[in-house]
Amino acid sequence: MFVTTSGLMSFAVLLSGVFALHAATKEGDFGKLPDGRAAHIYTLVNKGGVEARITDYGGIVVSLKTPDKRGAMADIVLGFDSLDGYLKNPGPYFGALIGRYANRIGQAKFVLDGKTYNVPKNDGANSLHGGTQGFDKRLWTAKMLPDGGLELTYVSKDGEEGYPGTLTAIVVYHLTDANELRIDYTATSDKDTVVNLTNHSYFNLKGAGSGDILGHIVTINADRYTPVDSGLIPTGELRSVTGTPFDFQKATAIGARIEQADEQLKLGKGYDHNWVLKRKGDGLEVAARVEEPSSGRVLEVLTMQPGLQFYTGNFLDGTIKGKGNLVYAHRTGFAMETQHYPDSPNKPAFPSVVLKPGQSYKTTTVYRFSVVK
């Protein structure tokens, strides 16, 4: 049969229309866990060809391809090509969903309703990112939604990693036609518990593995941050950023002040702190904007949460090889984790992280991508 070029093209248009309707286009294999269970990978694409690949292991965003100012696509998140990479290198939490309590809990314990709960010490004396087997290391139950979203469910048993109450966490990823990766989190519990969920993607808007992030220009909508002690636990003070290297109220390059002789920068080995977001209400508001001049890529972070952990990949040291065998050297990715302030279970003055039966924890984060010419 003879097919004209225009015939082929209209066939392609028809196909792309079909794919746009079913944005979560496909499910594939992503390897096997040590216990034999299979992990899967889901590919979400939008109208503009932006593509996110997400696995049900840890709900990890494995890759995220967005255009630069010339229209060239690059993968802008750090990660691994296969499940094996994530199993062998859990330390950086690349791209993962973090729970039950993202960030640190001081002395790995907290008191709730008069009872002391001990959680795993996996960061010196403290507990980090939900413990030894946090939500990032769990196989979630995935469901491809008719609207193209990907729904992931994880039921964390009463007592798991020391936390009280069976917690049902549902996280839905959408890749919208407005070039947004939208993450909707819901959680319910059958007993009083604490919850703080986030995503731990590391971005490099030049492309993962293309050098450091020091030239990225950052704005954070916050005039205070939570200074920390030597274990990166907040002291409880909400300190003004004015006159410090923590002032990102005006767009400033990450590298402009990161080596300054500042006590807090020394403690964090760079930026690894929580900013107290200026908020108008409880809705989705812009927390931060990041622009990378050479590619023109822009990332905006929107959240309903009170805090933003801005971490500049200070623990990356070049020992990890990621996707495409590229080396992830010091400060070659940054994370912007929308969340409650670290150690909130032990800080009554911080916004509460307590979730009670009958209540529903609901929060949305949007990573929005665009370009400036």
Find the radius of gyration of the CA atoms of the chain.
21
Q: Which residue is nearest to ligand GLA (CB)?
A: 311
Among 179, 201, 309, 365, binds ligand GLA (CB under 6 A): 309
Q: Which residues in the 79-118 window bind ligand GLA by CB under 6 A?
A: 91-93, 103
How far apart are CB 327 and ligand GLA at their closest, in Å?
17
Residue tagged active-site, from 40, 200, 216, 340: 200
Nearer to ligand GLA, 183 or 232 (CB): 232
The site that binds ligand GLA (CB under 6 A) totals a number of residues, namely 11
Q: What residues contact residue 256 under an 8 Å CB cut-off, 6+ apart?
A: none
How far apart are CB 343 and ligand GLA at their closest, in Å?
11
Task: Count the alpha carbons within 13 Å of 345 in the hemisphere toward its beta carbon.
Answer: 32
How far apart are CB 309 and ligand GLA at their closest, in Å?
6
139 in contact with ligand GLA (CB under 6 A) = no
Q: What residues contact residue 355 under an 8 Å CB cut-off, 6+ apart?
A: 165, 167, 187, 188, 189, 192, 193, 194, 195, 361
Among 68, 272, 292, 343, binds ligand GLA (CB under 6 A): 272
Among 21, 88, 266, 315, binds ligand GLA (CB under 6 A): 315
> Cα torsion for 269, 135, 329, 245, to the nearest 10°?
-30
> Cα torsion for 182, 187, 193, 194, to the nearest 10°?
0
Whether 334 contacts 264, CB under 8 Å: no
Nearer to ligand GLA, 30 or 93 (CB): 93
Q: Which tokens sit at 88?
A: 């062998």
Mark whether 151 is an active-site residue: no
CA distance 241 to 250: 11
Would you call 145 exposed, middle or buried from its count of C-beta atoms within 10 A (0-12, 13-18, 19+)? middle
Nearer to ligand GLA, 95 or 164 (CB): 95
Whether 75 contacts 65, CB under 8 Å: yes
How far apart are CB 123 and ligand GLA at their closest, in Å?
7
How far apart are CB 99 and ligand GLA at their closest, in Å?
13
Mark whether 216 is an active-site residue: no
Q: What residues contact residue 48 under an 8 Å CB cut-off, 6+ apart?
A: 67, 177, 179
Q: Which residues in the 340-369 window bind ligand GLA by CB under 6 A?
A: none
Segment (H or E) for 7: helix 5-21
Q: Which residues in the 211-270 window bind ligand GLA by CB under 6 A?
A: 232
Nearer to ligand GLA, 134 or 245 (CB): 134
- In the sheet that holds 38-45, the strands lie side by side as 24-32, 38-45, 51-55, 61-67, 73-75
Residue tagged active-site, from 160, 300, 337, 340: 337
Nearer to ligand GLA, 58 or 164 (CB): 58
Nearer to ligand GLA, 200 or 323 (CB): 200
Q: Which tokens sit at 63?
A: 């890759």
Among 167, 175, 335, 366, binds ligand GLA (CB under 6 A): 335
How far apart are CB 128 and ligand GLA at their closest, in Å?
6
How far apart are CB 91 and ligand GLA at their closest, in Å?
6
Verify cis geometry, omega within 30 degrees of 0, for the bond prior to 239: no
Whether 183 contacts 373, CB under 8 Å: no
The residues annotated with a catalytic role in the active site are 200, 337
Residues at the site binding ligand GLA, with contacts judged by CB under 6 A: 91-93, 103, 128, 232, 272, 309, 311, 315, 335
